[in-house]
Structure 1
Amino acid sequence: MYDQYQPPTDPNGGAIALTAKYHGMTFILGLFRPLMLINGHKVPVSWGRTVIPMPAGQYHVHVHVPYLIPPRIGSADSVVPVYPGQVVEVEYRAPIIGWLDGTMGPPPQRHRGMGAGIALMIVPLVALLCVFGLLGSAAVFRTSSQPVAVPTFNPVPIPSADPWSPAPSTSEPAGTGPSSGGATPSASASLPWPDVRPTLKSVPARTLAGPSWAAGDQTYTMDIKGVPFAFRTPPTWGCIPGKIEIKNAKAWVCIDEGKPFEANAPEPDRTKRLQFMLRPCPNSCSNADVVAVARDWFDDGAKVDFVDERTSYVEVARNADGRYILDMSHIITAPDGTKWQLAVGVYSRPETKSPVQKIVNDMLTQAG
C-alpha cells in the first residue's frame, strides 16, 4: 500500500531521529511495531530511537501503531523541518487509551489518556476488593453454634496522596481534512479572528492564474479554526499546522492524503503540496511594507507580478526540479483594523497544475 522509503545519499542533508515510546500500562504494544510515514512513504522504525537520513527540507511525518481492534491506534502527525547537518529529535508517544491520538513533536511528549487509564485500572481493583469484602463478611456473620473470635488490628497510616497521581494531560488537535478534525496551528502568536470554523462566502470569483473551481468539481472545504476564510481543495486533501521561522507567523501545510487507510482508496498524489501562513503586516502596512513582506515570501530573484496594491504573485512554469510553482502574497484586514499578510505557495507537476491553481484562486477569492 505504501512506497518504501529509500535513505538519501545527500552529503548536505540532515536527519530525523524518531524516538517511539509506549507506557508500561500498555506493555502489549511492545508486540507491535509502530508505522512511520514521511510524505506518505513508509519508513521502517521500531520502539526506541531510529535515525532516518533526510535531505534538507520540510516533511509531513505520520506515526501510528498497527493493532488488532481497532486496526490502528495512536495516530499523530507533525511537520518537521530538516536543515543541512542537523539531526531533528522527534518523540512519539502512544496513548494509554486505544481510541485516542498519540502525541508527537519535540521531546518530551506525554502519553494521552493517563488519567483515564489509571481509572480503568483502579475501578476493577476496587470492585474486586468489594467482592472479597462481601464474601468475608458473609463468612464472619454466618450462623454458627460456636462463638466467633474477632481479632484486633493495629491501625497503620494511610498515605494522604496518591503515588500514581498523573501529571495534567494536554490535548493537541490533529489536522483538518477528510480523515481528521479541525486544526489549530502550533505557533505562539494569536490571530485576531474568532476561533471558530469559517464558512464559504458567496462572492465573485477572482483568478490569479489558471482555472477556478467549477460547479461540477468534487471538492472538500477546509474550515480551519482561527483562519478568517474557508477554501476548497480536492476531496482527498488534508491540512495540518506547520512551523515557520518568521516572527508572529502561523503556518499550515496541506497535502493529498489519498485516504490510504480506506479500502479501495486512491493513493496520495505526492507531487502536489500547499503551504500558507498568516502574519501581521508591519508598521502602517504602507506600499513599501506590502512589497517588503512579499519579498520575504518569494524566492530571491523571482519575477514578481502585482495584481493590485494588495496582491502579488510569482508563477514558474517549470523550475530546476521540474515543478510548477505558484506563490501568492495578499494583504487582508482583521476585525480590529490591523493588516495581515496571507502568503500561499503551491507546487505540482506542470501537466497536473490545474488543481493547485484552483486552490490558490479560491483562497484569493474567499480571503477578500
Structure 2
Amino acid sequence: MYDQQQTPWQQPGTTAIAITAKYWWATFMFALFKPYLAINGRPVPAGWGRTVVPVPPGQYQVHVHVPYLLPPKVGTAETVVAVHPGQVVELEYRAPAIGFVDGAIGPAPQKHRAMPAAIALMVVPLVLLLCVCGGFGIAAVVSGSDGPDRPVARPTAVRPVPTLPRRTDLDPPVPAPSAGKPVLRSAPARTLVGPSYSATDATYTMAFTGWPFAFRTPKTWGCIAGRVDLPQAKAWVCIDEGNPGNGQKVQIMLRPCPDPCGAADRSRLSTEWFDPGVTSRAHDDRTFYVETARNANGRYTLDMSHFFPDATGAHMWQVGIGAFTPPEKKADIQKIFNDVLTQTG
C-alpha cells in the first residue's frame, strides 16, 4: 500500500494538509498499528504523530481509521477541507477510547470519543473491589466485637478474580477450579513448525473461562478479549505487554464445529478462518496451516485451523490461531502454536 509511486499532489510545496494522529494512553495496543490515511481516496503514508501531505490548492476529503485485528477497522473519521494557496491546514485525529465507535477529526483540539464509557469500565471494577474489601473489613470488626470468649474466624486474604481473567499462572497443572477455567494437561508434545517450550522457558498459562483447553505464552505476554465476525466464535488477542511495540501479535479463536464435523465441515470452517485466496497445507486430517516467511510488511506470519474433541468426546471444536512477528522472533510464535496443538491433541 505504501510503496506506490508519488502522484503530483504529493510533491513538496508550500500548500499542504497536516494531520496529527493521537490515541489514548489506555488504548496502548493501537501503537502496534499505523493509522490509515487517505486523501480523496488515495492512501498516504502516515503514522502516529504529525504527517504533512503537500497538496495543490483545492477541496479534499480526508479519511482516517486504525487498521486493527478484531474488528479489522476501528475509529473511522472523515472530513472535507478547503486548502488555499500557501496555506497549511492543520487537522487532529483522535482514535476512540473504545474500539467499536468512530474516531474524531477536525481542528485541534479533538476529544477521544467514548471516553466516559471507557473510564466507567475502568472505575466500576475498582469500586466493586473496594466494596468487597470493605465488606470483609466490616465483617471482621463485627465478629471481633462479640467478646474475647467467643472464637472468631478471621477471614483469609484472597486475591479478587476479575470478571474477564487475563491470565493464570498454573505450573504445575492443578485440578480445574470451580470457576470453569481450563488447566494445562500432561500430553505428548506435538509440533506444527519450529521449536516447542522447554522446561527452562519462562511462560504464563492462558486459561480463559469456559474454554476447553489452556495454553502457554512467553512470560511477559497478556491477552484481552476480542471479537471476530464468525458464527458462535469467541476470540482473544495476545501481545507482549512488556514490549507492546515489538511487532508481535497473536489472535486465537474458538467455535464449535457442527456435527458430524466431517471433512466438508472442516474445509468450510478453515476457509472462513484463513485469509481469502490463500492455499493452506494439511498437517493432518484435522490440522491445516499457512506459513509465510516474509510478507509484504517484512513480517513472518503463521495461521492454523485445528479441530479437536472436548473432554467427553461428544463435541468437536475449531481453534483458529493467527500471528505475525519480525522474522528473527518467530520462535516465540511457533512455541505458542505448538503448545495449542499439544493441549488440543
Using structure 1 for the length normalisation, give the TM-score: 0.54
Could you say which structure has the larger radius of gyration? 1
One-letter code of the match for 1:272? Q
Matched, 1:344 2:321: yes
Separation in structure 1 between the aligned mates of residue 104 and residue 261 of structure 2, nearest angstrom: 37
One-letter code of the match for 1:55? V
Give the CA deviation at 1:85.
Answer: 11
- The runs of 5 or more residues in structure 1 that have no matched partner are 1-14, 19-34, 45-51, 61-77, 96-100, 104-109, 124-170, 180-193, 259-266
One-letter code of the match for 1:80? G
Separation in structure 2 between the aligned mates of residue 88 and residue 172 of structure 1, nearest angstrom: 25
* 1:90-137 deviation per Cα after TM superposition (whole angstroms, max 9, x unaligned): 621348xxxxx436xxxxxx99549959x99xx9xxxxxxxxxxxxxx
Separation in structure 2 between the aligned mates of residue 311 and residue 349 of structure 1, nearest angstrom: 24
Asked if the contact 1:55–1:84 (Cα under 8 Å) also holds between the matched residues in 2, the reply is no
Asked if the contact 2:104–2:113 (Cα under 8 Å) also holds between the matched residues in 1, the reply is no
1:102 to 113, 117, 123: 123
What residue in structure 2 maps to residue 177 of structure 1? 167
Asked if the contact 1:319–1:325 (Cα under 8 Å) also holds between the matched residues in 2, the reply is yes
Asked if the contact 2:184–2:214 (Cα under 8 Å) also holds between the matched residues in 1, the reply is yes
One-letter code of the match for 2:275? D
Asked if the contact 1:278–1:340 (Cα under 8 Å) also holds between the matched residues in 2, the reply is yes
1:92 to 118, 121, 128: 118
One-letter code of the match for 1:227? W
One-letter code of the match for 1:39? M
Matched, 1:365 2:332: no
Separation in structure 2 between the aligned mates of residue 16 and residue 325 of structure 1, nearest angstrom: 28
What residue in structure 1 maps to residue 252 of structure 2? 276
Against the structure 1 CA distance between its residues 286 and 59, is the aligned structure 2 distance closer, same or farther, given a 3 Å change threshold?
A: closer
What residue in structure 2 maps to residue 317 of structure 1? 293
One-letter code of the match for 1:276? I
Could you say what secondary structure the match of 2:343 adopts? helix
- 1:1-368 alignment runs, 5 A limit: 35-39=25-29, 41=31, 54-58=65-69, 80=99, 91-94=117-120, 101-102=122-123, 112-113=127-128, 116=131, 173-177=163-167, 195-258=179-242, 267-334=243-310, 335=312, 337-368=314-345
Against the structure 1 CA distance between its residues 84 and 112, is the aligned structure 2 distance closer, same or farther, given a 3 Å change threshold?
A: closer
Of the structure 1 ranges 221-230 and 338-347, higher mean CA displacement relative to structure 2 is found in 221-230
Give the CA deviation at 1:58.
Answer: 3.2
* 1:41-84 deviation per Cα after TM superposition (whole angstroms, max 9, x unaligned): 4999xxxxxxx953232379xxxxxxxxxxxxxxxxx9836899
- Count of residues paired in the alignment: 232
Separation in structure 1 between the aligned mates of residue 28 and residue 184 of structure 2, nearest angstrom: 32
* 1:279-306 deviation per Cα after TM superposition (whole angstroms, max 9, x unaligned): 1113421101101100101111212111
Separation in structure 1 between the aligned mates of residue 231 and residue 221 of structure 2, nearest angstrom: 28
Asked if the contact 2:234–2:253 (Cα under 8 Å) also holds between the matched residues in 1, the reply is yes
Q: Give the % identical residues.
A: 40
Give the CA deviation at 1:241.
Answer: 1.2
One-letter code of the match for 2:283? V
One-letter code of the match for 2:118? Y
Consecutive aligned runs of 4 or more in structure 1 exceeding 6 Å deviation: 15-18, 82-88
* 1:196-225 deviation per Cα after TM superposition (whole angstroms, max 9, x unaligned): 222222211111011111121111111222
Separation in structure 2 between the aligned mates of residue 302 and residue 233 of structure 1, nearest angstrom: 27
Could you say what secondary structure the match of 1:293 adopts? helix
Separation in structure 1 between the aligned mates of residue 280 and residue 267 of structure 2, nearest angstrom: 10
One-letter code of the match for 1:102? V
Could you say what secondary structure the match of 1:36 adopts? helix
Separation in structure 2 between the aligned mates of residue 351 and residue 84 of structure 1, nearest angstrom: 34
Against the structure 1 CA distance between its residues 359 and 337, is the aligned structure 2 distance closer, same or farther, given a 3 Å change threshold?
A: same
Separation in structure 1 between the aligned mates of residue 229 and residue 102 of structure 2, nearest angstrom: 12
Against the structure 1 CA distance between its residues 82 and 94, is the aligned structure 2 distance closer, same or farther, given a 3 Å change threshold?
A: closer
Of the structure 1 ranges 78-87 and 220-229, higher mean CA displacement relative to structure 2 is found in 78-87
Could you say what secondary structure the match of 1:39 adopts? helix
* 1:120-157 deviation per Cα after TM superposition (whole angstroms, max 9, x unaligned): 9xx9xxxxxxxxxxxxxxxxxxxxxxxxxxxxxxxxxx
Give the CA deviation at 1:228.
Answer: 1.4
Could you say what secondary structure the match of 2:99 adopts? strand
Asked if the contact 1:241–1:251 (Cα under 8 Å) also holds between the matched residues in 2, the reply is yes
Could you say what secondary structure the match of 2:272 adopts? helix
CA RMSD of aligned residues (A): 4.1
